[in-house]
Structure 1
Amino acid sequence: MDVSVETDKQGRSRVRYEKAGWNFWEWQGHRAHYITAGTQGPPVLLIHGYGASAYHWRYQIPALAQHYRVFALDLLGFGWSEKALVEYSSGGLWGQQIGDFIKEVVHAGGASSSSSSSSEQVVLVGNSLGGYACLNAAVKSPELIRGVALLNSAGPLQDSDAPELAEPLPVPWYGGIRDGLTAVVKRVVLYFAFQRAKQPERIKEVLQMVYSSNDTIDEDLVDSIVVPASDPSAAEVFYRINSSKAPSVSVNQLLKQMRGSRLPLLLLWGDLDPWITPKRADRIQQLYPEAERVRLQSGHCPHDDTPEEANAALLEWLERVYKR
């Protein structure tokens, strides 16, 4: 394990915060960041949600690394990854990044592993926007993926079997400001929205809204969101994600394609989430009846909100998936 581990006030192990980040990888001319731990076992790749980073998996990395080679990736535009001025509209960019990361980093053994195979399949675990990115990756590169776990996953989801949605990717973390505004006005409004959203007190306020407990909301977590948001290009990335009118592939369509690959799917859901409620998990189960579901008395980020319960459920499912 190439990460330092500490114990929190409740006696739980987690990654020690490093303000400068951990490992970096060059992808399509951009600098991407990741954390890795564990030297033995199959690979597991963790993908954060909107506004968060690889550090948000601080409680999962040491727990999973006892049995697996663990990687947590910062999506382009987030965390310690470059705030690249590219098109972020559909989720496909991040799906491609995940697939390339598996081929170029995971299969190369990462920074800490001495055991890797170019034929190994990876389990993807994604929270919120990261869940949508994982679905995109699973559809783009099914040969690389062993299974997918979704934790309160985001993305455009239809309530019926009407024709596929063609709408921009909704972003719950800061809220969307899209319609009825000219491009200039929208840019100004989003700029000031971002300036407010990146303030430490506002970040803490939002976390308290969507966590079921304040036990894990601490200065390190807040700082891990503040530091990336201080990048000179962060406001422009925020604008590009929130103002795009390019269509996104619906979750319905992604799940339909995933069923063809017969990939195991876990819905590890915080039922107390005010943003992405249990009704979304109900709908995903309708679309993907093979999905397993574990309900937690947790909020939008169950892995950090109730880490012990989330880790237990994830480890139990991973063991079964890799025994198939």
Structure 2
Amino acid sequence: MDTYCWSHLGHAVHTVHQQPEQDYSDRPALLLVHGFGASTDHWRYNIPVLAKTHAVHAIDLLGFGRSSKPAELAYGGPLWRDQLVAYVQERIGRPTVIAGNSLGGFAALAAGAELKQDCAGVVLLNAAGPFSDEQQPPKGWAAIARQSIGSALLKSPVLQRLLFENLRRPATIRRTLNQVYVDKTNVDDWLVESIRRPSLDPGAFGVFRTVFDIPRGQPLDELFAELTAPLLLLWGMRDPWINAPGRRATFQRHAPAATTEVVLDAGHCPHDEVPDQVNASLLDWLAGLT
């Protein structure tokens, strides 16, 4: 597996790349996109398997992992969408399947819709992001007051710093992972450290603070309407962070008619919790594309 430092908007971006031993250049490349607080390290059990038959790339979004964390950037969907689009066009240079988990799923879908014919497919693993009807403002004085007070508290620099210091403690990281993994086998010291290490970088707290101000971005239903590539939804149905059955039903109402779905007995990060099942499902779907 090769590592490469690519530049986007003048900032260093960490990427990894692994090629098959045989020539499979007739098949689409794969670009893997991590979720919030994670990095290319989170694809540890996927890249070696997928790279047997496809050129596989993984990228650290700006603000995360080993990529730069500059204070002046407007973190959010448009930044990460454009980063992925530029990487496909500049570094891969051929039709690419983009797969993303959680926040990375939202970025993958937005990039796939933007790339048009240069996107060979999109794979969403418990993707984040709002639908149009979820962006409506709260109704009634009580709902507005609750949201306003909660928002004001979360924008307090002191409270944000306290939250950040607590969230990057190894014990807190492990506890959080144990909450979102049904099978805790892969919640190991290596995974905890891969999440803790980037939080020590200069600028990490600044990126964390932007979480409370990140624009929601384009709604998922609008992105689905713009997507021309095949879509695969991989669901960890025991995800405690989202109402997976309810969210799946919403996705089914808006996703393209030919969408493929795979339901797994896993939590928020199925690619790392049940990698054998995710790899098999993804390779089976990719075989149908080729």
Deviation track 1:69-92 (CA, whole Å, cap 9, x = no partner) reads 000111110111111221113x01
Q: What amino acid is the match of 2:239?
A: D
Distance 1:154 1:247, change over 3 A: closer
Match of 1:255 in 2: 224
Match of 1:38 in 2: 19
Distance 1:60 1:318, change over 3 A: same
TM-score normalised to structure 2 length: 0.89
Q: What amino acid is the match of 1:126?
A: G
Number of residue pairs the alignment of both structures matches: 273
Distance 1:64 1:257 in 2: 28
Distance 1:81 1:316 in 2: 32
1:284 is the counterpart of 2:251:
yes
Q: Report the CA distance between 1:182 and its aligned residue.
A: 4.2
1:238 aligns with one of 208, 219, 236 = 208
Q: Hey, which bits of structure 1, 4+ residues long, moved more than 3 A? A: 181-185
Match of 2:264 in 1: 296
Residues 85 and 111 of structure 2 are in contact (CA less than 8 Å); yes or no, is this contact kept in structure 1?
Answer: yes
Distance 2:67 2:110 in 1: 19
1:187 aligns with one of 157, 160, 164 = 157
Gaps of 5+ in 2: 138-146
Residues 165 and 249 of structure 1 are in contact (CA less than 8 Å); yes or no, is this contact kept in structure 2?
Answer: no
2:109 aligns with one of 120, 135, 140 = 135
Q: What amino acid is the match of 2:10?
A: G
Distance 1:273 1:241 in 2: 21
Distance 1:124 1:69 in 2: 12
Match of 2:142 in 1: none
Q: Report the CA distance between 1:68 and its aligned residue.
A: 0.4
2:178 aligns with one of 208, 217, 230 = 208
Residues 129 and 216 of structure 2 are in contact (CA less than 8 Å); yes or no, is this contact kept in structure 1?
Answer: no
Q: Report the CA distance between 1:138 and its aligned residue.
A: 1.3
RMSD, matched Cα: 2.0
Distance 1:232 1:189 in 2: 19
TM-score normalised to structure 1 length: 0.80
1:64 aligns with one of 47, 50, 55 = 50
Q: What amino acid is the match of 1:124?
A: I
Aligned-pair identity (%): 39
Match of 2:122 in 1: 148
Q: Report the CA distance between 1:278 and its aligned residue.
A: 2.6
